[in-house]
Structure 1
Amino acid sequence: MANSYIARQPILDSNRKTIGYELLFRDGPKNTFPEIDPDLATSRLLSDHFLSTHYSTLGKHLGFVNFPYQSLINLVPTLFPTNSLVVEVLEDCLPTPELLEAVRKMARMGYKIALDDFVPSVEWKAFLPYVSIIKFDIRIVPIEKARQFIYKLRESKIVFLAEKVETYQEFEQAKAAGFSYFQGYFFSKPEVLQRKALEPAFWTMVQLCKEVASEEIDYKKLESLIVQDVTLSYKLLALVNSSSVVSSKIQSFKQALVYLGEERLRKFVSLVAIASTQSDKPDYLYGLSIQRARYCEQLYATLNKNGETGNAFLTGMFSLLDSLLDQTLESIVSEIPLEAQVKEALLEEKGVLGTILALTKAYEQAQWQKVSELASQLGIADAELSACYDDAVKWTADLLNISPE
């Protein structure tokens, strides 16, 4: 469908494991369907996206979806399976008797109902017995005020979700206040401010990534780097052997090269390298690093059909290294022999790569106005933005072997 965007934002539990994604749609009626009823537009977006690309990659994760008032009254959510959908009642919905009846019906059918951007008021009290999740935007309702409300409902089965959690400190405060689920970009910022020494394994990772991003891969150099690190070589062989490409077990790295070929080898090395940085980070961070790398690469490829996309891939992947290594990007980049255009993109969002990175971040955060402006700047069509994002999500799920757990 032309001109429709969708992004996924992770929802994590208190152990920072991904339990679901909020699926964020661009506002179709304003941007795409001025002559079509908003609820019809929402339904079309849901059926086109939720039931196709993104539904298949949710696995057993929950999909949190916003529904406007009329869609709820018309019971549109009941078109979708109960087990994977969380029905979000938007904050601008009025608590009418009709809405209460619709919510009651859906809850009795087994749907999880969430109140989005909730602000406590007497009018919503009648809804609470049918609600599974209450979402507080901690920028609107401070954590301390939310804590009091959570305490009042401590005997209920309602689970509380903190939105717009932007720092590790806020994450810890929200946990202490009784929140169980968390949404926001707190995991995209360093948790520890002191500087850590870059370990040898990290240097190997950087060299590997540079090597596989080259236009012509030097297999001898690549092999010598792999064998330096037992963990990396083991992981790479394990990944190769678990690949559907391989019909018999691979015994050496040289054999692996033959089976994989340049393109797939580049992806595997990137995956192994990024996953070897630190093990105490949210699982979503690794996936997001790879997804971001792929999205940057795909967007760059639409601009340069025959161009080398290695630097675009590296820009996306390295853009989260501050979170993975608990350092600032400035300190990391100063020690890595990256090309100038990648450094400029990472630190200042300058140049074509910088604009692509800014566009990627805006897309992830569903800042659709900014997405449109940056896409126009680059000359990338709406349809390509959407197709590249769908590809990045699917490709990452395939690479990480994401399957229903």
Structure 2
Amino acid sequence: MYSYLARQPILNKDKVTIGYELLFRDGPENSFPNICDEEATNRLLIDNFFSSGSNQVTGGKRGFVNFPHASLIQRVPLMFPKQSFIIEILESCEPNDELLEAIIELNQKGYTLALDDFNPSPEWNRFIPYIHIIKFDIRQTPIEKCALFIRRHKIGKLKFLAEKVENHEEFMAAYDAGFDFFQGYFFSKPEMMQRRSLTPSGLTTIRLYQEICQPEVDYNKVEEIIATDVSLSYKLLRHVNGMLITRAKPISSFKQALVYLGEEKLRRFITFVAASHALENKPQSLYNLSLQRAQFCERLVPKASIKVCGNQAFLTGLFSLLDSLLDQPLEELLRLLPLSDDIKSALIEQKGPLGILLKLAVAYDKADWDVVARCTTALKLNESDVVDAYMQSVKWATAFERTMTKNDV
């Protein structure tokens, strides 16, 4: 039996990811009538917290877990350390005396509590003193109404989270309304719709991407590009010397560093560093998501009934958020890169085998299990392979980030 789970980033005002809401479904078809909220919560906890003792899916950050009425009354969260996750009280919970007693006990024992999809009503007023985070679905509750509630209750340590923030305009409106945290895919869209010129770091990124898209990497060209950017040069040398174990003399030249890495590791180095180098005002989670998609697509190629190479799949996933990273229309950016027509068609129209693969990656990110099921069938994949590829890609992206950070990249 496999646990179908996706995660949605939760960001603070600085667009830094502080946690993930964990979304559970019983299988990719999401159509099993016998599963209830309690069973979904229990299986999520068992698969991701109970057996391993920690939740690897969140990369060390806090997980937000939905708890229905019965699970709270039965004090299920007390089975886990208080720092394991943030308890989300589902909107379907009845605000009765029994629930209030459970909430007070959890609060007193140090658990962090959030009201999910909150709709202000007198019945919930007595709960608020024991709550740490209130989540508003801005699709259901207008931001203006949220702002009024926030102004009246912005006391103590109570924080507010805006859900389903889909674009930069909504992010700014929620920011101005007083929200502390934000959830949604606003960071997956270009923040500026008008045409902008690429920044110097953005141009460097494109030039490096042009090189790793070639069948064979030209070390001289890569050296020339990196040498023009002091910050990138420093990161390369720090990264390579951090990998050394037995070498007596440190590597001090770019060419020496590039050759030492080898073609495959060089592609991965550029993959990670180049775009993150251009991320000055972007959330790190945006780039982490592109890394995760790249690895997810690459891992599925050997399992799927499609005739594409792993590197094509990797580039398709990696470049799926390029417009968001560089604030340029995707079509214009792709014209600058020597990509195959298959990759371009996949990125722009989600057509062809690579397009289906990308559609699967995007759907899994959003826990859209109906689309996941259709894509899984179209690619003739086993459900278990898709689940494993997603979990491994999350771990890979997290580990890669930690490795690069450790080496001061």
- Please say whether Structure 1 and Structure 2 have the same fold, judged by a TM-score greater than 0.5: yes
User: Which residue does the alignment assign to 1:21?
Assistant: 20
Q: Within 1, Cα distance between the matches of 2:182 and 2:123?
A: 26
Q: Are residues 240 and 307 of structure 1, via their aligned partners in 2, closer, same or farther at CA, if it must alter by over 3 Å?
A: farther
Residue 138 of structure 1 contacts residue 165 of structure 1 at CA under 8 Å; is this kept in 2? yes
Q: Within 2, Cα distance between the matches of 1:276 and 1:250?
A: 22
| Letter matched to residue 266 of structure 1 | R
Residue 6 of structure 1 contacts residue 49 of structure 1 at CA under 8 Å; is this kept in 2? no
Q: Within 2, Cα distance between the matches of 1:220 and 1:56?
A: 40
Q: CA deviation at 1:57?
A: 5.5
Name structure 2 gaps, 5 residues minimum.
Answer: none
Q: CA deviation at 1:156?
A: 4.4
- 1:302 is paired with a residue whose SS is coil
Name structure 1 gaps, 5 residues minimum.
Answer: none
User: Which residue does the alignment assign to 1:300?
Assistant: 301
User: Which residue does the alignment assign to 2:378?
Assistant: 377
Q: Within 1, Cα distance between the matches of 2:55 and 2:400?
A: 17
Q: CA deviation at 1:307?
A: 5.5
| Letter matched to residue 91 of structure 1 | E
User: Which residue does the alignment assign to 2:361?
Assistant: 360
Q: CA deviation at 1:352?
A: 1.1
Equivalent residues in 2 for 1:102-141 (5 A)? Answer: 102-141=102-141
Q: Within 1, Cα distance between the matches of 2:150 and 2:199?
A: 43
Q: CA deviation at 1:214?
A: 4.8
- 1:135 is paired with a residue whose SS is strand
User: Which residue does the alignment assign to 2:288?
Assistant: 287
Equivalent residues in 2 for 1:11-90 (5 A)? Answer: 11-27=10-26, 31=30, 39-50=38-49, 52=52, 55-56=55-56, 58=58, 61-90=61-90
Residue 60 of structure 1 contacts residue 84 of structure 1 at CA under 8 Å; is this kept in 2? no
User: Which residue does the alignment assign to 2:147?
Assistant: 147
% identical aligned pairs: 50
Q: Within 2, Cα distance between the matches of 1:247 and 1:184?
A: 46
Residue 295 of structure 2 contacts residue 317 of structure 2 at CA under 8 Å; is this kept in 1? yes
User: Which residue does the alignment assign to 2:274?
Assistant: 273
Q: CA deviation at 1:364?
A: 0.9
* 1:196-251 superposed Cα distances (whole Å, 9 cap, x missing partner): 22356545433433443555544455444444544433322222223477766332
Q: Within 1, Cα distance between the matches of 2:223 and 2:330?
A: 28
Q: CA deviation at 1:375?
A: 1.2
Q: Are residues 290 and 20 of structure 1, via their aligned partners in 2, closer, same or farther at CA, if it must alter by over 3 Å?
A: same
Q: Are residues 79 and 347 of structure 1, via their aligned partners in 2, closer, same or farther at CA, if it must alter by over 3 Å?
A: same
User: Which residue does the alignment assign to 2:97?
Assistant: 97
Q: CA deviation at 1:257?
A: 4.5
- 2:342 is paired with a residue whose SS is helix
**Bigger shift: residues 104-113 or 188-197:** 188-197
User: Which residue does the alignment assign to 2:6?
Assistant: 7
- 1:319 is paired with a residue whose SS is helix
Q: Within 1, Cα distance between the matches of 2:27 and 2:54?
A: 18
Q: Within 2, Cα distance between the matches of 1:213 and 1:237?
A: 23
**Bigger shift: residues 86-95 or 245-254:** 245-254
Confirm or deny that 1:340 pairs with 2:306: no
Q: CA deviation at 1:102?
A: 1.5
Residue 118 of structure 2 contacts residue 135 of structure 2 at CA under 8 Å; is this kept in 1? yes
Q: Are residues 59 and 84 of structure 1, via their aligned partners in 2, closer, same or farther at CA, if it must alter by over 3 Å?
A: farther
Q: CA RMSD in A?
A: 2.8
Q: CA deviation at 1:58?
A: 3.6
User: Which residue does the alignment assign to 1:392?
Assistant: 393
Q: Are residues 298 and 382 of structure 1, via their aligned partners in 2, closer, same or farther at CA, if it must alter by over 3 Å?
A: same
Equivalent residues in 2 for 1:243-258 (5 A)? Answer: 243=243, 249-257=250-258
Equivalent residues in 2 for 1:173-212 (5 A)? Answer: 173-198=173-198, 201-212=201-212
